[in-house]
Amino acid sequence: MCWSATADLAAGAGIAAVGVACVTLTRRARDLPLAALPLLLGAHQIVESVVWDSGGGTRPATVAWAVIALPLLAVWVPAGVLCAAPGHARRRLMVPLAIGAATAAALAYALAARPVRAEIHGHTLGYVVDLSHPELLVAGYLLATVGSFLLSGDRRLLLFGALVGAGAGICWALWELEFVSTWCAFAAVCSVALFGWVRRRPVLPDAGW
């Protein structure tokens, strides 16, 4: 989320460009899902620029935003980390992937069964989703996404997970205060950090499972 349609569109284009660079520089097929994450985040910001322009509500762009933010990322992130992780860490990474899959299933059901509404409050854009047991779903989401980075067995991805956790907390606090939405800046920082990870990956053949 950014503070305006223009900011979202500009941020989305820039983040997507970083994603293209990440994918282009990727030297191992199993790194591609994680390297492509900035492409997904960039598309997410561009979708939200449409939500801003449409004035919020329950329009298709709102639903598309929620699908990417909730069930898709809950599975994409732990699956991408599992693919990219060293062999010794993959067994334990099945845990956040399983949690992410279960969380994504519950979130997808909620999105299919109930309307999603976007509400504009000054320089913030909020999304209202009727969830059963929201605290459990938030915990599952964080364990799947942040948790997978922390269990990755890769020092740079572990540091990235710490950055994601701290940055998400700061962005959430600013959003709760309805001061300004900074998620797009957070996504940009994360995308640049992933670009650095891709550039520093050693040139090795894909390891077997």
Residue 147 confidence (pLDDT): 94
Average pLDDT over residues 80-95: 95
Q: Which of 195, 206, 163 is nearest to 34 (CA)?
A: 195
Q: How far apart are CA 103 and CA 70, in angstroms?
A: 9
HEC assignment per residue over 135-198: HHHHHHHHHHHHHHHHCCCCHHHHHHHHHHHHHHHHHHHHHHCCCCCCHHHHHHHHHHHHHHHH
The pLDDT score that the predictor gives to residue 186 is 74
131-145 per-position pLDDT tens digit: 888 899 989 999 999
**150-173 tens-digit pLDDT:** 999 999 999 998 888 887 777 666
Angle between helices 183-200 and 5-25 (to 10 degrees): 10
> CA-CA distance, 68 to 162, in Å (whole number)?
22
* For residue 149, pLDDT beyond 70: yes
Six token digits for residue 103:
């969380």
Which residue, 110, 82, 80, 109, is CA-closest to 94?
A: 82
Q: Which domains does the chain have, with CATH numbers?
A: 5-200 (1.20.1070)
> Nearest CA to 12 among 61, 71, 57?
61
Look at residue 37 and tell me whether its pLDDT is greater than 70: yes
